[in-house]
Each structure stands twice: as C-alpha cells, then as structure tokens.
Structure 1
Amino acid sequence: MNVDQIILQSVIAHRLDTIAQEMGAALERSSRSPIFAEACDFACGVCDHKGELVSQLNGIPILAAAGSFSVQAVLEKYTGNIQEGDVFIVNDPYRGGNHLPDIGIITPVFHQGELVFFTVSRAHHGDIGGSVAGSYNTRATEIFQEGIRIPPIKLAVKNSIIDEVLDLITYNTRNPQMLKSDLYAQIGANKIGQDRLRTLLDKYGLKKVKESIIQLLQQAEDLTKAEISKFPAGSYTGEEWLDDDGFQETPVKIKAEVTYEVNQVTIDFTGSDKQVTGFVNSSLVTTKSAAYIALLWTLSPEIPRNSGAFRPIKIIAPPGTVVNPAESAPVTLSTLHCASEIISAIFKACAKAVPEKIPAGFGRYCGPSFYGIDPRNQKFYVGFAFCCLGSGGGKKEQDGFPYMAPISNYGGVRAPNNEANEVQYPLLTLNHHLEVDTAGAGEYRGAPGIKYQVQFYGPDPSIVMFGDGMKIAPYGLGGGKEGSLNRNQLFTKESGNEWLKSKTAPRSLQPGDILTLFSSGGGGWGNPFKRNPQLVYEDYKNGYISRESALKEYGVVLTTKGIDWNETKKYRGIDYESRYNV
C-alpha cells in the first residue's frame, strides 16, 4: 500500500471504532433499566456483510467478542431474505447467543442496494422470563426453565416494528414495558451506527471502504500470527475448577491444552468434564468468546479485537461437555462461570511458558438478584448486586485492581453508587468497603475483596444467590498466594445469622432482613517476601492488610512508628540498607 492508502485505512479504522463507541453512548443514555444505564452491561459493534466482526466497543468482553456469532446465525437463516429496513433479534445460546438474558439486536446496513455491514448491540436484560425473576434459576435443569428463547427472527420490516413479535417476547417477561423500552434503546443505538456507516460509505465510496475492511481484518490476522511466532512452541495444559453446579457437590473441571505452532494456536478442551445438570454449562458461543479473550490477552494488547485476530485460533470443544453441552442444557450462569474458568484454564496453561504476561486469579462473582414490589410506587422490580464485585489478581510489575468483577467482564460492568441503588430499589446500604486481609499476598499482591451489606425494607422481598468461588479461591502465580473466598451471610429476625451457598434457590425475606456479601480478593503474583517493605507498610496504612498479615505473609515487622528494619531483616535475610537505601 502507498502512503495515501495507509492513511485512509487508519482513518476508516478509527471511524469504525468511534461509531461503535457512539452506539454504546447512545444505548447507555437512552435505556431505562439500571442494568443498562448504571451497570452498562452491554457491548456494541460493527460486522461486515459476512458476519465478521470489524470493530467493537470496549464494553463487556464476553459480549463483545460474541457479536459476530449472532450475525452469522442471522445470515445462516435469512441469506437471500435480508432487506433494507429489517431489524433482527436473537438470544438463543444454541443459535448465536451467549445466554438468554443477553439479547442481540442486529441491523443490516445497505449502500446503493448492496448489503455492506451489520450494526450489533448485545445487552443483558433484567428479566427474560422463566421460573425465577431475574432469570438466574439455580434449580434449572433445562434451558426452558431459564426464560424465553428467541431464535434469529425479524423484529422489524421496512423500518416498522412487528408488534406481534415484540409483544410475544415482552409479554413473557415480568416487566414488559421495561424490556420493550430497552429493546427500543438497542434499536436506536443500531440506527445511529447505521446512519454513521452510511455517511462513511457516502464519503469514501463502497470500493475503498470494502478494501479497507479486508485490510483491517488481514492486518489483525498478520499481527496475531506474528505474536504467535514469538511464543515458545509447544503444548501447555491448564486446569481450573468451578465449585459445583448447584446440584452435585464435586468441583467441575475445565481443562485446556494450548498448542502453539508457527502461525496457529489450538485450544483443546478435551478432558473437561461432561456437561452437568446445573446452569454453569457454557454454550459454544460463550466458550469460543472466552477462549479468544484469554488467548489474545497472552499475545498482545496491540492486536485489534476483530475477527481477523480470531482466524489463527482453532478451538476444539467436544460435544456433550461442560464447554459445549447438548442443546437444551441450562447455561445462564456461563457468561460469568464457567467463562471465567475457561479463561483461567488458558491463563494457567500459558503461564507455564510466559508467566510474566499472565495475571493471578481474579475474584469470582457471587451475589444475589433481588425482586419484589416497591412500596414507594407499587411497581415490580428486579435488581442485581453489582456493588459486591470481586477484585483482580496481581501480575508482574502491577498490583491487582480492586472491584473488577469476574475476568470474563474485566471491569466492563460498572458498579452503581449506593445512593442510586437506594433510589431505584427498596433497600438501604449499611456497609460498603474494602475488606482487610482478603488480598492474595505476592511481590505484586491481588486487590482486596469487598464487604457489601444491605437491608431490605419492601414487603416480601426475595433473593436468589448465584455465583461461584466459595470453595475455590483465585489462584496465585509464581509463588504468590491465593486470594480469599466469597462468603454470604443472611440475618433474619427469626433465625439470626445464616451462611448461604453460592447457588441458592429463591428465598423469601421479611422487611428488615440484612444480607452481607464478602467478595473475594485477587490472587498474588510472585514471592511475597520479595515485596518492597515500604509497599507492605502502605498497604497496612490503607487498611488492606493487618500487622499480623504483614509479618506472616510478607515477613515485614511493623510497629506504631513504621517498619522495624532490623527485625524484618531477620525474617527475610536481605540487606535492606543497600537494596532500599535505608
């Protein structure tokens, strides 16, 4: 390419990214439900006419990486019957979706009668029906108990909504007006993306834009292959476990064998457990999305996250396993768990070759959905405890980040402020702070977990606990220690304190009941005795660790005046005078 072509390609690439970001901004500002407007649990992107992802908003990674699968499902069903003014909707995990609460809206973009792009928005909706409000049914044994299943289907024709389809979907949920409003927000966000893409095509012409898209995808593929070639060739195996599936008590194994060749990586999940009864099974879309997230993380942040980067990655997921279950298996929890464990298994494998690139374990999500009638307006509500997010693991040269959510979301979910929660739901926040001695110790420590405590005051509230990480802690790497476990405690006037399991069936509460959530801290990276004692002292002053942990985990003796260097030297046997200019 000459200089002019390179500049034009860069301009178009940045414009595509800006369009995806503008779609996300529109969706955030036009939605009604807190899970959109506050938590921003969505992703937006642009695909080409073949369904290949060319640009995505840096929203929720597990949603963004899956955007092309929905478009490909639409193309598989509707090729030859996609017209200007159509809008498609899909959420079926066995037809291009992640799990039922994540609804994809797909809008084709034409230029001079030719299909060129699709705009895509995928978003998590507060309730999608099923036998449990909030649609996280811990007792589900088949997908039909989790909510309404939407195969790829037209929601609009000739720019007119098909009311019968919209009503059929929304009337099968507990808050049809909220769902309808949020679907309109997705349609509107896609329309903004559609208009911006048409402007792009009008300005630069179809030929130049299509050539640039081909080059963008090829460039991402070439960059991925170049990074693969730098990786030590060979096969590396990692294993991670979920606590359980809510039915069996034994852990559920995810096994990943990652094989690096000259210009290809194969991720083989053979050896993972068979599919299970509960809702931790991962649809193939979620499994592939999680694998892409993990593998590209190990390679380089400079690689564009588009379908070109996915081409050199081969994924083997045997049918009938927890990472590729037979159709009708329940899968609702999978975008959190086992997606996070898929990522962790790949990380553990790659850490055997390039530990300096891999973080220690992230905290797992474990919290409730809560629902009932708000006494202030007599309306039904469904909420989620986004304020109990766990924390990230340390990595070389960097401590873990707090309050990150599970690694499948990697900070994409925003935690709403407590005041907003108290306006939206009938609850009061009693505690919300980082918890001492929950961070995994290491030369680069994990971040502390969170204590989050709320009191319900509405009539007959109910909760459903869903998540993981109450038995298996975030892993440490390179001599780093594990992070803490999740814990959940319910206080009722009738029974006092009670510890809840990570997967608890719907539980009716009374006004005044108190739920306390302790989210897990991230794992540590590297030998804790190599951590700079000054940093240990700062962690103590900030309330992250106690004096007892400073001594036990880091070998640093603290007094009321600061670090006792002589005693610390006895524990560690290091010449601090020269190393730290004491």
Structure 2
Amino acid sequence: MRANHPLSRIEYQVMWNRLISVVEEQAQTLVRTAFGTATREAGDLSAGVYDTQGRMLAQAVTGTPGHVNSMAMSVGYVLDKVPLAKMNDGDAFIVNDPWQGTGHLNDIVIVTPTFRRGTAVGLFACTLHVVDIGGRGIMGAAQQVYEEGLYLPITKIVDRGEMNQWLIDIIAANVREPVQVIGDIYSEISSNEVGGKRLVAMMDEFGLEHLDDLAKHILDHSREASLAAINRLPHGTYHNTMMVDGINGKSMEIKAKLTIGPDGIDVDFAGSPGMVQLGINVPLCYTEAYTSFGVKCIVAPHVPNNAASLATIRVTAPEGCILNAKHPAPVAARSIIGQMLPDVVFGCLQQALPDGVPAEGTSCLWNVRLMGGMGRVDGDPAVLQKATPFNVTSFHSGGTGARPKLDGLSATAFPSGVRNVPIEITETIAPVLVWSKEYRTDSGGAGEYRGGLGQIMEVESAEDMPFGISTSFDRVVYPPRGRAGGLAGMTGRVELASGKTLPPKAHSSIPVGERLRVSMPGGGGYGDPRKRPAAKVADDVARGLVSVEKARELYGVAVTADFAVDEPETAKLRMAVAAE
C-alpha cells in the first residue's frame, strides 16, 4: 500500500482497529479458560500484541493498567535474552520477575512468537494474577523477595509445541493451589495461540507480509495524538503530596513533581520515602504503569495505549525509594501504594485543569484474601489437620472519588478496573459464609457531587474451624480527600464482629465462632455539599446511602420520615451556613 494515498490511511485505521479486536479476543480467551477467580471473575489480566522489535502495538480493553503497562516491558526483556531469530514456531516463554514487567511474583507473563509462512511476524504476551505462588503470601511479613514465593526467570515453557513438563512439575510442587496455578498457565498459552492465529488470518486477509508499515502508522499517529493532547495543557511544573498509612504506625508522604512540556510529561517522585522491610515496596515498572495511566486518564484518554503513547509520559523515582525498589526487596503487596499514584498525579494535574480532575478515591483494592488449614491459621494442629485447606482471593473495592459533574462510583475499583467477585463464587470454592455485603452508609464524601460508597462485608467459617485473612489495605488512617470544597470519604476498617480491631497490613486468624467484618473506604466528594440539590440528598437518604443525620449536618437538608425534603427547615439550615 502507498502510505501517502488517502485510501491507505483508511485501510491502516481499519487494520489498527482490527488489531485491537484481535487482542481483545486474546484477552477474552484468557477470561473464558482461566481457573483462578482473579482472572475468570475479576478480569485481573492483560493481553497485547508486539512487533518484531518488542514494541507494544495494541492492548486489550479487558485488563488492568498495572498489568498491561508493566507487561509492555516484559517482551523487551525476553527478546534481550532470546533474540527472535533463535525462537521457533510453537515456542512460549514464562517469567514472573517483579523487575522485568510483573511487579510481584504472583503475576505470571507468557510471551509467544507468532510465525507466518515460517517467518516471525510479531509476538503476543499476556499476564494474569495466580492465587498462590508459594512463599509467605501477599502480606506474610517477608523481608526479601525470596520469601515471597517461586521466582521464575525468563524460561522456555513450550518448545516447538511441547510442554516443558519438568518446569510444570517444579511450579506445581511449590504452590498451594497447583490445579488453579497450572490451569492458569495453560490458559495463558492458549490465549496467545488464539491471538497468533487471528493475527495471521488478518495478515492473510489484508495481504500483509509484515507489520512494519502498520506499526509505523500506529506508533506515529499515537505519538502525534498524545503530544497534541499534552500541548493543549498549560506548560509548567506542578507539585502534589499525599499521605498514605505506611506500616507499623509510621505514615509516609508520597511526593510528585509533574512537568508539562512540548515533548511530553515528566513525573518525578523525588522526596518520596525509602524502601521498607515489608512487601509494599514498588518496582519502577509498576510505578511507571499506574503513573502513566493516571496521566492518560486526564490528558489523553481516547488515544489507544501502545509503546508510542506511553513513551510521551516519562516517570522517574530515586533508586532505592519505595517507588523504585531494588532487588531483593519484598514487593508482593506493591499494589497498595502503586495504585495510589493516579490520585497523586491527579493532584498535580488539577492545578493545570482546575475543573477537570476527580476527587481522590479508595484507589488501592480491598481484596479479601482468605485461607484455612494447617499452617495457614493459628490453632491446635490436631484440630487444624481436619480443616479443609484453601486459598481464595475475593476481589472487592471501596468507592471512587466524585467527578467534576458526576457522583463517584460505589464499590468500584479504580484505577485497577477489576470487577468485584460474586460472593456465590467465593462460597462455592472455599468453606466460608458471607453473611452480608452491602453499601456502607455515609462512607462517600459529601459534596455537590457525592463520593462513591464503600461496602461492608461479614464473613464466617462454614465448617467450625478458624480461618485466616491476609490484609493489604490502605486508607485506614488517611481518607480519600475531597476536591473543590468536597469533603473526604470515610476511612476503612478491619475487625471482628465482636469489636476487636485487626491490622490492615498483616496476616490475622479469625477464631471459631467469630465473624470477620471488613468496612471499605468511600471516595472523596467534589464541590460544596450545600450546593447539592436537596432532592438528590433526600433520594440518597431514601436509598440508604446517606443517613438522616448526615444529610442535615453535612448537606444542610432536612429529610422527613417519608423521605421528602422539609423545605422550610432546609432553607433555614442553608441560610444559616450562608450567613456564617
């Protein structure tokens, strides 16, 4: 095709869209065949296609920023170790090195070359989160990555179509849920194979011998569109800080400097705290992933994600700080702080776009990681050996921050984008009972636009045995902040139903007869709460989202017993505030 011909640009765009459809089918194959709930139910995965130079050309819509933006680096590392010329049709490579594009050991990447007529034309990669990788777990007090589980360097797992059974056996012998983990790995291999077949069919249909010209079109146009969006913003340097809970009662201040210039956006986290001896450290690849995602959400949300659009956002952090943790630091729970980074950069971008940035949300996931059996909980070994051994991760979340013209979303994961896992699934695969799962009244920050609500869950053992929870939660001390006069959301809490508070970053045992209660944070509000229409406040009260007391105290709205607005009383309340 002649690149300067008008029709060629249309054809390129059609092929670009087709390529995105190919990787979406790749991702959906992974969802449909996966064994673990993280992938099958929550969509905690990524899928993408790369050119022969290892540049990501397209990513699936299904998936998380932390996976896909980190995975963008993994293919380059694989090609550094095994050049494409040394790969064969039917090969596949596995890696879970946190510093080579996964962020922690529970994320496994599979990279597969695609051949057409005996020639390598590209590569497919996918990532998913396995329920267990051995070691001490997500929050098991590991002080080095070696204690966090099985560490897989770049290794050939399929050789010309033949599985490396020795490697499969090693993985199965080192994890607590071998059926789920090995099943997930097979799903990843199948997912890449489907992507490769669809790519070859596309190339046959359009008569493409290689992807070079299409890659150039995609990357050039993505870079141009990204820079055009960036240059619509006022150039300058903007600063923001955010307090996070930290560990052992020692809070931390994340600092960011964001500079907007003609050739892109630079984000520097200099001044952020150093590494700690707990797995909340973040490898730079994961820092880059969520920082760039946060910038793109505000600046260029409609530009497809690929190597060129990502390259316009450059992220740095001092070596050895908590956002650029070096090997062998523990990193299993890197998402706790890593997923806060969009909110951190939102605070910078709000200064350039005063009316275009949402309030802070819960951000970090509040996944309920439950386990039972010998060695997983405190108790009498003679009793525990009769318990059903299990490990289950049930994905859940608090509320998102309110937006400049819309309320926040309740019980919705942002920035990860994963779905909540239905309780019926959790109860089917683990011996637990979920007694309640409901919105947490008043947890959303008050504002003209209300923050999204968190949720409350109560869980109990189904077999008269103790069980454990591995908590990796933030926003217990410092709530999501409101914006433009909006109030903060409510902080979260982990406790027993009897009242005992449990630590938010630790492994805890739930005794027989006790219920675990997890109360998740709400998002911050946006704008003056007294400007929220009284009818909306009354509707919030009717739906149980806001209490009668908080409607009066925070919004200046008096709501009657039948959920109508008491107009005279409301007028008095709001006039009193205006007079102040």
User: Which structure 2 residues correspond to residues 80-99 of structure 1 after superposition, within 5 A?
Assistant: 80-99=85-104
Contact 1:367 1:517 in 2 (8 A): no
| Higher mean C-alpha displacement, 562-571 vs 426-435 | 562-571
The CA deviation at 1:208 is 6.8
Q: Which amino acid aligns with 1:149?
A: Y
Candidates 391, 400, 415, aligned match of 2:408 = 400
- The one-character-per-residue Cα deviations of 1:33-79 (angstroms, maximum 9, x if unpaired) are 22222222212111222222211122112112222111111011112
- The one-character-per-residue Cα deviations of 1:308-346 (angstroms, maximum 9, x if unpaired) are 111222222110111111210011111x21112222111
Q: Which residue of 2 aligns with 1:384?
A: 393
Contact 1:242 1:337 in 2 (8 A): no
Structure 2 SS opposite 1:392: coil
Q: 1 CA distance for matches of 2:125 and 2:432?
A: 35
Residue 53 (str. 1) matches residue 56 (str. 2): yes
| CA 93–309 in structure 1, closer or farther in 2 if over 3 Å, else same | same
Residue 73 (str. 1) matches residue 77 (str. 2): yes
Q: 2 CA distance for matches of 1:16 and 1:378?
A: 49
Residue 440 (str. 1) matches residue 465 (str. 2): no
Structure 2 SS opposite 1:498: coil
Candidates 194, 210, 220, aligned match of 1:218 = 220
Q: Which residue of 2 aligns with 1:543?
A: 544
The CA deviation at 1:210 is 2.6
Q: Which residue of 2 aligns with 1:580?
A: none
Q: 1 CA distance for matches of 2:565 and 2:101?
A: 57
Structure 1 SS opposite 2:573: helix
- The one-character-per-residue Cα deviations of 1:530-562 (angstroms, maximum 9, x if unpaired) are 111111111111111011111111112222352
The CA deviation at 1:351 is 0.9
Q: 1 CA distance for matches of 2:119 and 2:70?
A: 25
- The one-character-per-residue Cα deviations of 1:166-186 (angstroms, maximum 9, x if unpaired) are 222221111222211111011
Structure 2 SS opposite 1:184: helix
| CA 87–500 in structure 1, closer or farther in 2 if over 3 Å, else same | same
Q: Which residue of 1 aligns with 2:180?
A: 178
Unpaired runs of 5+ residues, structure 2, are: 375-383
Residue 299 (str. 1) matches residue 302 (str. 2): no
The CA deviation at 1:355 is 3.1
| CA 518–12 in structure 1, closer or farther in 2 if over 3 Å, else same | same
Residue 344 (str. 1) matches residue 343 (str. 2): yes
Q: 2 CA distance for matches of 1:414 and 1:354?
A: 29
Contact 2:242 2:254 in 1 (8 A): yes
Contact 2:267 2:316 in 1 (8 A): yes
User: Which structure 2 residues correspond to residues 199-348 of structure 1 after superposition, within 5 A?
Assistant: 199-207=201-209, 209-245=211-247, 248-334=248-334, 336-348=335-347
Structure 2 SS opposite 1:243: strand
Tell me the number of residue pairs that the alignment of Structure 1 and Structure 2 aligns. Answer: 559
Q: 1 CA distance for matches of 2:500 and 2:466?
A: 19
Q: Which amino acid aligns with 1:430?
A: W
Contact 1:221 1:309 in 2 (8 A): yes
Q: Which residue of 2 aligns with 1:570?
A: 572
| Higher mean C-alpha displacement, 465-474 vs 553-562 | 553-562
| CA 420–315 in structure 1, closer or farther in 2 if over 3 Å, else same | closer
| Higher mean C-alpha displacement, 118-127 vs 164-173 | 164-173
Contact 2:291 2:342 in 1 (8 A): yes
The CA deviation at 1:430 is 1.0
Q: 1 CA distance for matches of 2:534 and 2:521?
A: 24
Contact 1:138 1:503 in 2 (8 A): no
Candidates 150, 156, 159, aligned match of 2:158 = 156
Q: Which residue of 1 aligns with 2:107?
A: 102
Identity of aligned residues (%): 29
Structure 2 SS opposite 1:237: strand
Contact 1:244 1:251 in 2 (8 A): yes
Contact 2:37 2:393 in 1 (8 A): no
Contact 1:461 1:509 in 2 (8 A): yes
Candidates 483, 487, 491, aligned match of 1:477 = 483
Q: Which residue of 2 aligns with 1:464?
A: 470
Q: Which residue of 1 aligns with 2:435?
A: 430
Contact 1:87 1:105 in 2 (8 A): yes
Q: 2 CA distance for matches of 1:285 and 1:401?
A: 28
Contact 1:229 1:262 in 2 (8 A): yes
Q: 1 CA distance for matches of 2:459 and 2:238?
A: 44
Residue 145 (str. 1) matches residue 153 (str. 2): no
- The one-character-per-residue Cα deviations of 1:116-150 (angstroms, maximum 9, x if unpaired) are 2211110000000102xxx2134111111111111
Q: Which residue of 2 aligns with 1:487?
A: 493
The CA deviation at 1:297 is 1.0
Residue 24 (str. 1) matches residue 27 (str. 2): yes
Candidates 117, 120, 125, aligned match of 2:122 = 117
- The one-character-per-residue Cα deviations of 1:462-511 (angstroms, maximum 9, x if unpaired) are 222222111011111111111111111124xxxx4311110123x33444
Contact 2:67 2:102 in 1 (8 A): no
Structure 1 SS opposite 2:24: helix
Contact 1:369 1:385 in 2 (8 A): yes
Q: 1 CA distance for matches of 2:122 and 2:554?
A: 54
Q: 2 CA distance for matches of 1:515 and 1:378?
A: 18
Contact 2:49 2:123 in 1 (8 A): yes
- The one-character-per-residue Cα deviations of 1:272-330 (angstroms, maximum 9, x if unpaired) are 11112211111011011011101111213211111111122222211011111121001
Q: Which residue of 2 aligns with 1:41?
A: 44
| CA 484–159 in structure 1, closer or farther in 2 if over 3 Å, else same | same
Q: Which residue of 2 aligns with 1:579?
A: none
| Higher mean C-alpha displacement, 48-57 vs 363-372 | 363-372
The CA deviation at 1:437 is 0.9
Unpaired runs of 5+ residues, structure 1, are: 577-582
Structure 2 SS opposite 1:359: coil
The CA deviation at 1:207 is 4.8
Q: 1 CA distance for matches of 2:117 and 2:251?
A: 55
Q: 2 CA distance for matches of 1:508 and 1:14?
A: 50
Contact 1:366 1:502 in 2 (8 A): no
Q: Which amino acid aligns with 2:405?
A: E
Q: 1 CA distance for matches of 2:25 and 2:436?
A: 36
Q: Which amino acid aligns with 1:129?
A: G
Contact 1:467 1:503 in 2 (8 A): yes
Q: Which residue of 1 aligns with 2:378?
A: none
Q: 1 CA distance for matches of 2:117 and 2:317?
A: 41
| Higher mean C-alpha displacement, 257-266 vs 59-68 | 59-68
- The one-character-per-residue Cα deviations of 1:187-229 (angstroms, maximum 9, x if unpaired) are 1111100111111122223357431221111111111100111
Q: 2 CA distance for matches of 1:497 and 1:445?
A: 29
Q: Which amino acid aligns with 1:47?
A: Y
Structure 2 SS opposite 1:244: strand
